[in-house]
Amino acid sequence: MTIALIDYGAGNLRSAEKALLAAGAPSVSVTSDAAVVARASRILLPGVGAFGACIGALRALPGMVDALNSAVISDGRPFLGICVGMQLMAGAGEEFGTHAGLGWIGGTVRRMKPGPAYRIPHMGWNHVTPRAGSLVAPGDVYFTHSFAMQDVADADIAGTADHGGPIIAAVQRANMLGVQFHPEKSQAHGLDLLARFLAWKP
């Protein structure tokens, strides 16, 4: 098994790498090389920061988006997007302007609306409720975000959380999984999810 953790300057790479190894990964290639991603059997895209900056940094890596489209969409290799990495799977993001995403899942990433008892950013532990057949399990996970995916087809919503109303906590389609929360910060529950991803045969 070859695991590519994409380094585009926008993720908690060391934490994600350590969590993958703790979850049973034999090794992890932290890489910004499209050729390594093109050969990988499993691909992870972390993400921290603004949507526009992240998609711009990803597209700035020579050949990376083409390698991702080939490996994930054409070849069907298992993919996991984490936090902004999940958001980049959307059709567009509206953080500091409107920016086109990868367009794998559809929907739009928009700013969450705060309420009197619900602050933005949504930061800390919250319960995730999965849909039937999702790779996600019910339990408490760690979130830190101000924007969330919206207008996603019901069939692609893999899990939700409640923060002043329902938010999309996970999306899943075919070989693609995205989680708005951080498995690498979610202790045993997060490691269990990563272990299921490593064993996943979509």
Could you please report the per-residue DSSP string of 9-65? S-S-HHHHHHHHHHTT-S--EEE--HHHHHH-SEEEE---S-HHHHHHHHHHSTTHH
With a cut of 80, say whether residue 93 has pLDDT above it.
Answer: yes
Active site residue 163: no
Output the average pLDDT for the chain.
95
| Active-site annotation holder among 54, 83, 163, 189 | 83
Domains of the chain, CATH where assigned: 3-199 (3.40.50.880)
What is residue 113's predicted lDDT score, i.e. its pLDDT? Answer: 83
With a cut of 90, say whether residue 118 has pLDDT above it.
Answer: no
With a cut of 90, say whether residue 142 has pLDDT above it.
Answer: yes
| Active-site annotation holder among 122, 145, 182, 189 | 182
Interval 99-116: pLDDT, tens:
999 999 999 999 998 777
With a cut of 80, say whether residue 48 has pLDDT above it.
Answer: yes
Mean pLDDT of 71-79: 98
| Active-site annotation holder among 99, 145, 184, 189 | 184
Residues whose CB falls within 8 Å of the CB of residue 24, separated by 6 or more in sequence, listed in order: 195, 198
